[in-house]
Amino acid sequence: MSHDRPTTQLFLLRHAHAGDPEAWSGSDDERPLSPTGEAQAERLASFLRGVGVTVDVAITSPKVRARRTAEIVAGGLGVPVRIDERLAGSLSPGTVDDLLRDAGDPRQVVLVGHDPDFSELLATLADAPGLSMKKGAFARIDLRGRAADGRATLRWLIPPDLLDRDRR
């Protein structure tokens, strides 16, 4: 039964700052992180390491800005990064369940992707309409069972400016 499944710590990470998409002339899939975004991801990796967060794997959208965010954060935590096309588009709790199953049902996993998809997923899982994630935001959701079961608890939502001493 799905309710017998152990709790999964699902971490959602919206890719860090990637600059103005209107100023980018290449393919949106190839838009890189800005220097601000690189710094956001580095600060987050340092913070997570400092508070003892451990994860089994990071799974990311193939888009450059998400991939780079995942590389920095996962590198700081010493975990591998997997690329999954499903994180480049809209996400449902059922898609999350499929991602987790295909990754071997990790107990602690970071998914890295985009908006509006991640804000919508977070709001659905937390049963909090209108909840949103800024670029570089990090959320922890505890899933009791499958994501589609609707038994999830939002534990953290860390906005990137919380970790930026210069912006407080």
Q: What is the pLDDT along the chain (168 residues), one digit of tens a residue?
A: 444 557 999 999 999 999 888 888 888 899 999 999 999 999 999 999 999 999 999 999 999 999 999 999 999 999 999 999 999 989 999 999 999 999 999 999 999 999 999 999 999 999 999 999 999 999 999 999 999 999 999 999 999 999 987 764
Residues 6+ apart with CB under 8 A from 134: 14, 159, 160, 161
pLDDT number for residue 145 = 93
Q: Is the dihedral of CA 42, 45, 46, 47 positive or negative?
A: positive
The encoded tokens of residue 99 equal: 């991602």
pLDDT at 4: 55
All domains in the chain, ordered by first residue: 2-167 (3.40.50.1240)
